[in-house]
């Protein structure tokens, strides 16, 4: 099944993806680009090969969240960021090789999933987004609106306001980014960057 569909695998890593972290270093910028490319390639592999049994409205084996990355991460089972070998989806795809039941994914598709999970480093991606889009007004030496601790995660958590671990909707930074969409004032973040912030806060304990 996976062989029938053209997909964007490793060949386009590093190319073609826009990101708005405009002032990132070159190394960071290319890491971001390959991260989002791997992510979209991986989501499309999962969508094509797994969603009919594990996606919206289907829950073979009690597993129904293959199209919800954040839920797979917070499950602490299906995806363990940085650790494909410990992630249930990768174990079934490439270790047990019993998913999908009709036969294993191509090696290229399995490798894409592996690299994506291995590279998931939500915290450093999230911090880079905040640094690039918010720190000029809310970081060291700047405190627009009385908020000057965006580069201090511990302080944002301790405030019990800016970041509420496990609860993006209850966190002032996420509310401004993705609910009110009023920050940064120059215009909203890319949806993929807003998702990264959301996934990161959701996974914080």
Q: Which of 36, 133, 192, 196 binds ligand HEC (CB under 6 A)?
A: 133
Contact call for residue 100 and ligand HEC (CB under 6 A)? yes
Peptide bond connecting 38 to the previous residue in cis, omega within 30 degrees of 0? no
Contact call for residue 138 and ligand HEC (CB under 6 A)? yes
Residues contacting ligand HEC: total by CB under 6 A: 36
**Residue 163: phi, psi to the nearest 5?**
-130, 125
Each residue 65-94 as x (binds ligand HEC by CB under 6 A) or -, in order, gives -----------------------xx--xx-
**Helix locations, the chain, DSSP H:** 26-49, 51-54, 69-74, 88-90, 107-119, 122-133, 135-138, 153-158, 172-174, 191-203
Contact call for residue 157 and ligand HEC (CB under 6 A)? no
Rounded Cα gap, residues 70 and 203, in angstroms: 8
User: Of 4-12, 16-24, 27-35, 45-53, which part binds ligand HEC (CB under 6 A)?
Assistant: 45-53
Burial of 175 (0-12, 13-18, 19+ CB in 10 A): middle
Binding residues (CB under 6 A) for ligand HEC: these are 49-50, 52-54, 60-63, 88-89, 92-93, 98-101, 105, 133-134, 136-138, 144-147, 172-173, 176-177, 182-185, 189
């Amino acid at each position: 099944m996976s062989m029938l569909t053209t997909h964007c695998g490793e060949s386009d890593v590093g190319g073609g993806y826009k990101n708005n972290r405009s002032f990132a270093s070159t190394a960071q910028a290319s890491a971001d680009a390959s991260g989002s490319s791997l992510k979209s390639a991986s989501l499309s592999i999962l969508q094509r090969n797994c969603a009919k049994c594990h996606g919206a409205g289907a829950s073979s084996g009690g597993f129904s969240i293959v199209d919800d990355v954040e839920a797979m991460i917070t499950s602490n089972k299906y995806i363990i960021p940085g650790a494909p070998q410990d992630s249930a989806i990768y174990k079934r795809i490439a270790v047990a090789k019993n998913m999908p039941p009709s036969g294993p994914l191509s090696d290229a598709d399995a490798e894409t999933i592996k690299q994506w999970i291995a590279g998931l480093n939500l915290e450093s991606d999230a911090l880079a987004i905040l640094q690039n889009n918010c720190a000029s007004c809310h970081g060291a030496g700047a405190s627009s609106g009385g908020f000057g601790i965006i580069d201090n995660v511990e302080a944002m958590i301790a405030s019990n306001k800016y970041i509420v671990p496990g609860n993006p909707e209850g966190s002032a930074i996420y509310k401004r980014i993705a609910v009110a969409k009023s920050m940064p004032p120059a215009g909203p973040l890319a949806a993929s960057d807003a998702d990264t912030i959301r996934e990161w806060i959701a996974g914080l304990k």
